[in-house]
Structure 1
Amino acid sequence: MATIIFDLLMHIVGGFSITGGAHRLWTHRTYKVKKPFEYFMMFLNCIAFQQTVVNWVRDHRLHHKYSDTDADPHNARRGLFYSHIGWLCVKKSDLVKERGKTLDLSDIENNPVLQFQKKYAFFLFGFACFVMPTVIPVLCWGESLNTAWHLNLLRYVLTFHGSLTVNSFAHLYGYKPYDENIMPTENYFVSTVSGGEGFHNYHHSFPWDYRAAELGNNNLNFTTVVLDLFAKFGWVYDMKTANPEMIISKAKTSGDVTKVIEKNKNI
């Protein structure tokens, strides 16, 4: 039981490093952090092991710029399997590679924390994702190596696929209260398994909002709750948000404002 609880904790912190770190911090720059905390977030990201942050950011910025087109690395128009994991099983198309070279990644390329991760990726990912979570249960409470290893692999797979649902399910199933002209949707299942990333129609409408959720709605949005907690300690600051008037205006123009107001009675 202790090992299961430990791996659940690794799942939570690893997932947060993707949603709060690779996604909201480094890709969209929705908030700022103190440098020691950035190193901490980078290490947590190694526990999740979903490419280096440099590569993750490049793919995700490309996804937003060319969402659901042939220049999108995980184009949802090619189906659920492809957008979920198929895109990782094949080489990137020439168009994806070509458009990727046009992105501005200067902030990532000049970030010493992320360049450190890229330089020592083999050792950091190997230790943080596989060695450390396996060895700790064995040394600290006498878990068998076989059980510790396989539970950690299960933890890794669950974290990985939980993140991937944002690319697949949240682009194919759900509703669109903010912009009916794009594929991303609001999907509660995705929010549940990804730590709050399922408010995807909102996120593609306002990608620079650190909450990645409608009007501050923290229901199922674990990532935002944790970021707000860290902000109280001053480790996280300058958090960008879209104001209610802007959000309502967007819904009136291209979405379904009645659904937005109905879900947010405080407006």
Structure 2
Amino acid sequence: MTAVSENGNLNNTTKLNSLLINSKYIGTDYSYKHEIVWKNAIGFLILHLLGLWGVGLMVTGNIGLKSCIWTILYMYAGSTGVTVGAHRLFTHKSFKATPLLKVFLLCLQTIAGQNSTFIWARDHRLHHRYSDTDGDPHNSKRGFFFCHIGWLMMKKHPYVIELGRTIDMSDLQADKMIMFQKKYYYYLYFMVAFLIPVFVSIYFFNEHWLSSFLVCYCARYILQLNGTWLVNSAAHLYGTRPYDRKLQPVESWFVSCISLGEGWHNYHHAFPWDYKAAEESMHFNCNATIIRFFERIGLAYDLKIASPDMMRNRILRSGDGTHHVLGNDEAKSAVSAIGPLHPLNPTYNSTLKSPDAILKPEGLPLFHEKDVLINDIIRGNIAG
């Protein structure tokens, strides 16, 4: 996969060349200060206050059980659209889908309210190519708050803007379904993410309109967003790196429990094209089970996986020594937590030195088996 899209190839190449001239490597410039976008910051504050009000209604029993169940099911339906659809299918192409499944996953992804699939995939491809540098929209080197939610409250770093234009999106640009959703995203979002969930609770479960709005929209939205954001924050900061110690992302049982399988993040960044996004397909990984279900009923096919030998070689060559089978006692003992030392503790974290995220301007590869070797070569040339 080339770094420059066919559309606007010359323009994008010129911009990338300007970055190459000005910077030999891309890391994190801690002297750079992001500018706050106040309308975004205030909007998220109001949304969270309303969402917490809705959560309060749920936990105190001030809304019906049917509405609570409906909200939770609808929330995880939207999450599936993001994790299985926008993430594993459209961004990483870890499996192929029939047109029917594509439409279904696009509908579910719209529920989540995380922008159109096209924009989501572009930002996520940028995140993988320039992971944990100033080219990463949610650079974890800038701290938990920034990579969790702060990045959405601030103006994008110039590298994010310029390098984002070099990401090859020609495959999605050629997909009429993707582009239809992108064009009509806000209309579709209003219908499936707001109108339907709120209306169902009012009409079928006899809820007051305010309670339905607070729970079925606001509470559902903030819970879903924060679950997704934990993959950007906690799964880059608190955990172990058994597959590649030179990659900032970590393995987080806690995040995997919440996100149904997206917290095995060190593995995922080592093998981004593996449909499981984890070594184990059944271990806190409902999303992999969902994909295999679609395969069994003929809607998904060509599921890509990393072979056992490929995983073993990567673990022994570049892992931090904490792998549950191939690790060593010394590395495993270098793990701490605030409170009980257990992987389900959100603060479960290796005390080994975190990697310096410093990349060449062309960034890291994204898709194929051969990228594993290329990845190691790139990082080996610039990291000790």
Give the drift of 1:260.
4.3
1:261 is aligned with what amino acid?
V
Match of 1:120 among 181, 184, 196: 184
Q: Could you tell me which residue of structure 2 aligns to residue 191 of structure 1?
A: 256
2:130 is aligned with what amino acid?
Y
Give deviations 1:99-145, integer Å, cap 9, x for gaps: 11111100111111111111111110111111110001111121221
Q: Could you tell me which residue of structure 1 aligns to residue 265 of structure 2?
A: 200
Equivalent residue of 1:165, what SS?
helix
Q: Could you tell me which residue of structure 2 aligns to residue 162 of structure 1?
A: 227
> Does structure 1 conserve the Cα–Cα contact (< 8 Å) formed by 2:110 and 2:193?
yes
Match of 1:251 among 304, 315, 325: 315
Q: Distance in 2 between matches of 1:109 and 1:71?
A: 22
Q: Distance in 2 between matches of 1:58 and 1:7?
A: 29
> Does structure 1 conserve the Cα–Cα contact (< 8 Å) formed by 2:67 and 2:201?
yes
Q: Distance in 2 between matches of 1:194 and 1:262?
A: 26
Query: Within the alignment, does 1:111 sit opposite 2:169 as a pair?
Result: no
Query: Within the alignment, does 1:79 sit opposite 2:143 as a pair?
Result: yes
Q: Could you tell me which residue of structure 2 aligns to residue 63 of structure 1?
A: 127
2:71 is aligned with what amino acid?
D
2:229 is aligned with what amino acid?
L
Q: Distance in 2 between matches of 1:127 and 1:256?
A: 47
> Does structure 2 conserve the Cα–Cα contact (< 8 Å) formed by 1:75 and 1:83?
yes
Give the drift of 1:51.
0.8
Equivalent residue of 2:200, what SS?
helix
Equivalent residue of 1:68, what SS?
coil
> Does structure 1 conserve the Cα–Cα contact (< 8 Å) formed by 2:240 and 2:320?
no
Equivalent residue of 2:137, what SS?
coil
- In structure 2, relative to structure 1, the CA distance for the partners of 1:60 and 1:219 (3 Å cut) is same
> Does structure 1 conserve the Cα–Cα contact (< 8 Å) formed by 2:281 and 2:289?
no
Equivalent residue of 1:159, what SS?
helix
1:100 is aligned with what amino acid?
G
Structure 2 alignment gaps of length 5 or more: 1-64, 328-384
Q: How high is the TM-score relative to the length of structure 2? A: 0.67
Query: Aligned ranges for residues 4-23 of structure 1 at < 5 Å?
Result: 4-23=68-87
Query: Within the alignment, does 1:175 sit opposite 2:244 as a pair?
Result: no
Q: Distance in 2 between matches of 1:107 and 1:253?
A: 33
Equivalent residue of 2:133, what SS?
coil
Give the drift of 1:180.
0.7
Match of 1:219 among 277, 283, 286: 283
Q: Could you tell me which residue of structure 1 aligns to residue 207 of structure 2?
A: 143
Equivalent residue of 1:261, what SS?
coil
> Does structure 2 conserve the Cα–Cα contact (< 8 Å) formed by 1:66 and 1:72?
yes
Give the drift of 1:148.
1.2
Q: Could you tell me which residue of structure 2 aligns to residue 41 of structure 1?
A: 105
Q: Could you tell me which residue of structure 2 aligns to residue 2 of structure 1?
A: 66
1:69 is aligned with what amino acid?
T
Q: Distance in 1 between matches of 2:265 and 2:274?
A: 12
1:56 is aligned with what amino acid?
W
> Does structure 2 conserve the Cα–Cα contact (< 8 Å) formed by 1:248 and 1:260?
no
Tell me whether 249-258 or 93-102 shows the greater mean CA deviation: 249-258
> Does structure 1 conserve the Cα–Cα contact (< 8 Å) formed by 2:281 and 2:288?
no
Q: Distance in 2 between matches of 1:213 and 1:182?
A: 15
Q: How high is the TM-score relative to the length of structure 1? A: 0.95
Equivalent residue of 1:166, what SS?
helix
Number of residue-to-residue matches in the alignment: 262
Query: Within the alignment, does 1:31 sit opposite 2:95 as a pair?
Result: yes
1:199 is aligned with what amino acid?
W
2:165 is aligned with what amino acid?
K
Give deviations 1:141-175, integer Å, cap 9, x for gaps: 21221211111210111111101111111001100
> Does structure 2 conserve the Cα–Cα contact (< 8 Å) formed by 1:170 and 1:200?
yes
What RMSD over aligned residues (CA atoms) do the two structures have, in Å?
Answer: 1.3
Q: Distance in 1 between matches of 2:322 and 2:271?
A: 19
Structure 1 alignment gaps of length 5 or more: none
Q: Distance in 2 between matches of 1:179 and 1:94?
A: 28
Q: Distance in 2 between matches of 1:218 and 1:262?
A: 19
- Percent of aligned pairs with the same amino acid: 42
